Chains A and B, each alone.
Chain A
């Protein structure tokens, strides 16, 4: 008789206290203030007088075990044996003595991990899996991000922006990358191409019909087989039908391209949190380095850096100067597609006589 299968130990999430640097553990909940001695370094002071320095290093997000082991060697040799991942895939190393900061920075830099992402910098892009692992990707966010960060690395290692800039990238319109000051997302422009020989076998058709935001999908018999058809006049090419029904191929090597959105903000500081807004589209999905994407992002960053006031995030800057000025200063074309036509879209129109001349 076979051995009984091993049942999982349903541990759940572990206690944070087991994994904290001793200084963080000792001063848990008792921090007084922090400053930033230089870009990429945070210095926190506790009410007890204890201090801790954090060095923030960029990673490639997907890392090989050899690289992680080397980073752990650095954490043991130059830091004090603890790290943490930030939400944007940076790795933070903590030390309790100021004298350890520079050698740690030197070791990380020598290993190829840029130091930065703090304060008013452009931090690492929060992004999705793409062709590497996703089942519905229109592109490879990892590649587009690598190529973009190569070009704007100075904005990661310096704190010279008006306020922090959070970039995101997503390989489909579901947008797992999330809201960003600048979001770089796939935008489909053609309805799905349907493999009618497969739909009946692999798709739960009522589920797919229900998934469509504009009720453009209906059951149909095609070539004698149960399938689905799409009212292409209604279809908004969002790709919602694709995950539950892979024969409804939305990814189009020619016509799926990139759109860029700005002004997403999670923080409640000053203004309430905001969604990002469409500013550019029709940008080619052009591997391996997506130069057209980087060009537009750099255009927006340059205009923001030159014109925004201190502490204005990109969306707050656009709100202050007005969207006509935004399009003028960034040089991006304004089109009918910028005018919101989705439900509630009237709230995004200018219902006032507030116009700048």
Chain B
């Protein structure tokens, strides 16, 4: 039995209703866990005053510089003692899940057993960072908890100005729209950068994310500095018998309204015999028609990836989407994965050396210009990198002839 529960009239109102309640979960823990009892006390106070009461600090494990999110209570009595002493230290430990967050039950049960010994018992299965987060650990228990999790075969995630824990979609494991081995690509990028993940020493965070197609289920283009998006360069596969079956089932109007006219580049046409004509040279692999006519249309066989750089959220200059730096690269052989690993290293190294403090990759590129960035990482320009050419004449073009000659040279290759 744990200590007596605090009154929580506000939190209690989050126990009713059909949606699963995190408050009911914490209360269950509070039956035999004092950390959870005092967490509820502090949280109820926040609900009353509309203020947060956690401050950061420095807590870690031997050998690593990051991965623990320290939280110390600021809710104190007049004599300086914490109002809710058993939750006065409430650190989160970020652990990297397998790619795609696939688990067997034994692994999660083992994690629960270890966490029960050392922490509050509260787990966030997947945080915004992609980690499995163990929430509510005292400073003293961080090291022994991590030791056991690490001995079980799992490693700390990223935090602070470091390479961060990555995410990859369900992908090849259970999706017909996968264009490469997403889990392997994600693991390749992260495991190549573990020193920068575990020992934060970068200008700011660096995120790799991996989606198997342009549906971008991992939100990689916007939410990562380095987005790997699956695509293909041969023709999409069309099973015309299935197309006909789809048209028969849904009707021509439905197909025209929801498939043909929804193509962003007008690359589709419905033939008189209810088969589909595809202008593959003008298809941008947006995935819409494949999503709708899932059984009839599939990605081509010549799969690979596009790489987009520089996505981020608001701070400091406003939101940025990642932009294309590699329109296509095969992602099949060991050499292809080595290429990805090297590109990851190039971008990371350039970022580490050239970004200002607290500047994300996208902001750095905004400051120095894409061409300087490309030169720095050794990638040649490509018209797939732009939405449209520049619209103003404010640029020196002294070396136009040389640059035009380079284009002709590349074209000849």
- A interface, CB within 8 angstroms of B: 5-21, 24-25, 28-29, 31-35, 44, 52, 54, 58-69, 72, 75-76, 81-87, 89, 91, 94, 112-114, 126-140, 142-143, 146-147, 149-151, 153, 173-179, 207, 210-211, 213, 238, 240, 246, 251, 253, 256, 266-271, 273, 275, 285, 287-289, 309-311, 342-344
Given A87-B219, A178-B223, A311-B288, also A275-B11 (CB < 8 A): no
Starting from the known contacts A270-B263, A342-B318, 4 additional A-B residue pairs (CB-CB under 8 Å) come to A35-B295, A89-B125, A134-B54, A213-B316
Residues of A contacting B313 with CB < 8 Å?
174-176, 178
Kindly provide the distance from the CB of A211 to the nearest chain B CB, expressed in whole angstroms.
6
Bound-complex Cα distance A61 to B96 (A): 17
Please name all residues of chain A whose beta carbon is closer than 8 Å to the beta carbon of B294 when the two chains form the complex: 33-35
Tell me if B28 and A289 are in contact (CB < 8 A).
no
Q: Which of A52, A60, A66 contacts B20 (CB 8 A)?
A: A60
* Complex: chain B residue closest to A14, CB-CB: B98
The residue on A at minimum CB distance from B166 is A13
Say yes or no: B105 contacts A84, CB within 8 Å: no
A87 close to B217 (CB less than 8 A): yes
A68-B123 CB under 8 A given contacts A12-B191, A24-B173, A178-B223: yes
Q: Is B83 an interface residue (CB 8 A)?
A: no
* CA A20 to CA B135, docked complex, whole Å: 26
Q: Which residues of B sit under 8 angstroms from A127, Cβ to Cβ?
A: 128
Q: Mark B147-174, 1 if CB is under 8 A from A, else 0.
A: 1001101111000000000110010111
Instruction: Decide: A177 and B128 in contact? CB cutoff 8 A.
Output: yes
* Complex interface: chain A residues within 8 A of B43 (CB): 131-132, 140
In Å, the complex CA distance between A93 and B207 comes to 28
Docked-complex contact B262 and A270, CB < 8 angstroms: yes
Contacts of A94 in B (CB 8 A): 174
B51 adjacent to chain A (CB < 8 Å): yes
Is B175 on the interface with A (CB-CB < 8 A)? Answer: yes
Q: Which residue of A lies closest to B177 (CB)?
A: A31
Contact at B19–A114, with CB atoms within 8 Å?
yes
Q: Is B102 an interface residue (CB 8 A)?
A: yes
A288 CB contacts on chain B under 8 angstroms: 10-11, 13-14, 47
For the side of the interface on B, what is the size category?
A: 35 or more
Nearest Cβ in chain A — how far from B5, in angstroms? 15
What is the bound-complex CA distance between A271 and B108, given in angstroms? 39
Q: Say whether B17 faces chain A, with CB atoms less than 8 Å apart.
A: yes
CB–CB A33/B315 < 8 A: no
Interface check B310, CB cutoff 8 A: no
Contact of B103 among A84, A143, A210 (CB under 8 A): A84
B94 shortest CB reach to chain A, Å: 12
Identify the interface centre among A44, A61, A75, A174: most chain B CB within 10 Å of its CB: A61
Q: Is the beta-carbon distance between A29 and B178 smaller than 8 angstroms?
A: yes
The 6 closest A-B pairs by CB, nearest first: A150-B17, A16-B183, A253-B50, A131-B46, A268-B214, A12-B191
Contact B98 A9 (CB under 8 A): no
B187:A273 contact, CB within 8 angstroms: no
Within 8 A of A (CB), among B107-164: 107-109, 112, 115-116, 121-128, 132, 135, 143, 146-147, 150-151, 153-156
Please, which residues of chain A bring their CB within 8 A of the CB of B393?
Answer: none
Residues of B within 8 A of A58 (CB): 19-20
Interface residues of B (CB under 8 A from A): 10-11, 13-14, 16-26, 28-29, 36, 39, 43, 46-47, 49-56, 61-64, 69, 71, 90, 92, 96-109, 112, 115-116, 121-128, 132, 135, 143, 146-147, 150-151, 153-156, 166-167, 170, 172-176, 178, 181, 183-184, 186-187, 190-191, 194, 198, 214-219, 221-223, 229, 257-258, 262-264, 284-288, 291-292, 294-295, 298, 313-319, 321, 357-358
- The answer on a CB contact under 8 Å between B122 and A8 is no
Report Cα–Cα, A14/B187, bound state, in Å: 7
Hey, which chain A residues are within 8 Å of B104, CB to CB?
19, 81-82
Contact status B14-A143, CB under 8 Å? yes
Please name the residue on chain B nearest to A185 by beta carbon. B314
> Are B121 and A64 touching (Cβ within 8 A)?
yes
A-chain residues with CB within 8 Å of residue B358 when the two chains form the complex: 207, 210-211
Q: CB < 8 Å: which of B25, B53, B123, B155 contacts A8?
A: B155
| Residue of B22, B183, B288 contacting most chain A CB atoms (<10 Å) | B22
Could you tell me if A19 and B125 are in contact, using CB atoms closer than 8 angstroms? no
Q: In the bound complex, do residue A240 and residue B315 qualify as a contact, i.e. CB atoms below 8 Å apart?
A: yes
Contact, CB under 8 Å: A135 / B55: yes
Q: Report which of B23, B39, B51 forms a contact with A251, defined as CB distance below 8 A.
A: B51
CB distance B47 to A13 under 8 Å?
no
Residues in chain A near residue B175, CB distance under 8 A? 31, 34, 44
Question: Which of B105, B112, B258, B315: most chain A Cβ within 10 A?
Answer: B105
In the assembled complex, which residues on chain B have CB atoms less than 8 Å from the CB atom of A35?
294-295
CB-CB < 8 A to A66: which residues of B?
Answer: 25, 28-29, 121
Given A34-B294, A85-B97, A133-B135, does the pair A65, B29 have CB atoms closer than 8 Å?
A: yes
- Pick from A5, A84, A136, A211: contact of B101, CB under 8 Å: A84
Query: Complex formed: what's the CA distance from A33 to B291 in Å?
Result: 10
* Contact (Cβ within 8 A) B98 A253: no
| B28 → A minimal CB distance (Å) | 5
CA distance in complex: A343, B314 (Å): 13
Q: Please, which residues of chain B bring their CB within 8 A of the CB of A128?
A: 128
* 30 A–B contacts, CB within 8 A, in A order: A8-B150, A11-B150, A12-B187, A15-B183, A31-B178, A44-B174, A60-B21, A62-B124, A63-B122, A64-B25, A64-B122, A64-B123, A65-B123, A72-B105, A82-B103, A83-B102, A87-B219, A91-B125, A113-B20, A136-B52, A140-B46, A149-B19, A210-B358, A211-B316, A269-B215, A270-B262, A273-B216, A287-B50, A288-B13, A289-B14
Q: Roughly how many angstroms separate A246 CA and B74 CA in the complex, as a whole number?
A: 11
- A240 and B318 alpha carbons, distance in the complex (Å): 12
Please indicate the chain A residues that have their CB under 8 angstroms from the CB of B314 in the complex.
173-175, 238
* Chain B nearest Cβ from A57, distance in angstroms: 9
Q: How far is the CA of A83 from the CA of B105 in the complex (A)?
A: 7
Contacts of B151 in A (CB 8 A): 9
Q: Are A268 and B286 in contact (CB under 8 A)?
A: yes
A29-B181 contact, Cβ under 8 Å, with A10-B155, A140-B43: yes
Q: List chain B residues, Cβ under 8 A from A86.
A: 101, 126
Measured CA separation A20–B172 after assembly (Å): 11
CB distance from B52 to the nearest CB of A (A): 4
> Closest residue to A52 on the B side, CB-wise?
B174
Report the bound CA distance from A66 to B291 in whole Å. Answer: 38
